[in-house]
Amino acid sequence: MNDLLNIENKILVIRSQQVMLDRDLAELYGVETKVLNQAVKRNIERFPERFMFQLTKTEQNNAEDCLRSQFVTLENLKSQIVTSRKRGKYSKYLPYVFTEQGVAMLASVLKSPTAVQISIKIMDAFVAMRRFLLNNAKIFTEIDSIKEHLLASDLHQKESDERIDTLFTLMDKYKIKDKQDIFFQGQIFDAYSTFQRLIQKAKKEIILIDNYIDLTVLDRLTQKNVGVNVTIYTRPDTPIKQLDIDKFNTQYPTLTIKHTSTMHDRFLILDNTDIYHIGASIKDLGKKCFGFTQLEDAAIIINAIMQNL
């Protein structure tokens, strides 16, 4: 039985025919491949193409490296074992392959009792392989269906990924997160990160209108770009002292603080072109739920605010 299994594992499907390589047959017959092929050539009239044909280079590579077309057990079928052979182990000539009829003819050409017995075993293996394929045709069909389904799923996943990438690209293009957002209580770092990203958009000037600044606000403003001037409008009784301003300007010039009592809401103006309405004092970002929005018609609003400071 083991001999039969070993033979079946040497059967390939090439050009829609079950065949065996000349070197595998030579090994089973106990002769050199060269001897087997010489015997065939001496009797070439007995081996039409339906009995024997020579492989192309591509077919040879497939025979060496690809998955054996069929395996004897369903367990082997499920595991999809690849039984590849190392190239270079055999001669460099393009091998011949023999069909079942060719194997039967080999027995008469080699002319030995052993050859006859081996040929019978090989033909039994061909028959067993055909029976295996027939009995498990439904399984093969289901495997093909699964492969097609997986391929379709991969394509669907690829399309979904591409749509998501497109969405993210559009979000980056139009900077949706930079136009408006909302933060809930406890999202302190997220709010801090967003404020930092906003102030780093400024290239020349930052104007902050906030009645409740403290040293933490100045600390956050240290993340501005070099050379950007900062002006803060806040109430007269601000805890920020001139000493704090001087120390800030020693490292991060230039900060100016002006006093006003006319504003209630918080605004952030960048380069006199973008203005944001912020729902919480900068020092309290993330402590409670708040949101921010970039206002449209920025030039008109900025002009109106500056006139009322």
Residues 11-39: tens digit of each pLDDT = 888 888 889 899 989 888 888 999 899 99
Q: Please report the pLDDT score of residue 227 as a whole number.
A: 94
Binning pLDDT at 50, 70 and 90, where does residue 70 land?
very low
Higher pLDDT, 151 or 42: 42
pTM above 0.75, yes or no: no
Binning pLDDT at 50, 70 and 90, where does residue 10 land?
confident
Q: Please report the pLDDT score of residue 3 as a whole number.
A: 60
Binning pLDDT at 50, 70 and 90, where does residue 65 land?
low
Higher pLDDT, 10 or 2: 10
- Per-residue pLDDT averaged across 144-164, rounded? 69
Q: Alpha-carbon distance 287 to 309, whole Å?
A: 28
211: its two tokens: 């009645």
Q: Please report the pLDDT score of residue 119 as a whole number.
A: 82
Q: Please report the pLDDT score of residue 169 as a whole number.
A: 62
Q: Please report the pLDDT score of residue 76 as a whole number.
A: 45
Tell me the average pLDDT of the chain: 80
- Per-residue pLDDT averaged across 141-168, rounded? 68
Residues 99-128: tens digit of each pLDDT = 989 988 888 888 777 778 888 888 888 888
CA-to-CA separations, 290 to 235, 264, 282, in angstroms, rounded: 22, 15, 11
Please tell me the CATH code under which domain 176-308 is placed.
3.30.870.10
Residues 208-249: tens digit of each pLDDT = 999 999 999 999 899 999 999 999 999 999 999 999 999 999
Omega before residue 56 within 30° of 0, cis: no
Cβ burial 160-193 (10 Å sphere, 16+ → b, else e): eeeeeeeeeeeeeeeeeebeeeebeeebeeebbe
- Per-residue pLDDT averaged across 85-89, rounded? 40
3: its two tokens: 């001999």
> Which residues neighbour 220 within 8 Å (Cβ) at sequence distance 6 or greater?
192, 195, 196, 199, 282
Binning pLDDT at 50, 70 and 90, where does residue 177 land?
low
> Which residues neighbour 199 within 8 Å (Cβ) at sequence distance 6 or greater?
206, 220, 221, 223, 224, 268, 270
Write out 193-212 in H/E/C secondary structure.
HHHHHHHCCCCCEEEEECCC
User: What does the DSSP assignment read for 28-66?
Assistant: HHTS-HHHHHHHHHHTGGG--TTTEEEPPHHHHHHHHHS
Domain definitions of the chain by residue range: 2-142, 176-308
Q: Please report the pLDDT score of residue 106 as a whole number.
A: 87
Binning pLDDT at 50, 70 and 90, where does residue 274 land?
very high
> Which of 148-162, 191-205, 285-299 is the least confident region?
148-162
Residues 183-202: tens digit of each pLDDT = 888 888 888 888 888 999 99
Q: Please report the pLDDT score of residue 213 as a whole number.
A: 93
Do residues 22 and 10 lie in contact, with contact meaning Cβ atoms separated by under 8 Å?
no
Higher pLDDT, 36 or 176: 36
Strands in 66-157 per DSSP E: 96-98
31: its two tokens: 């002769």
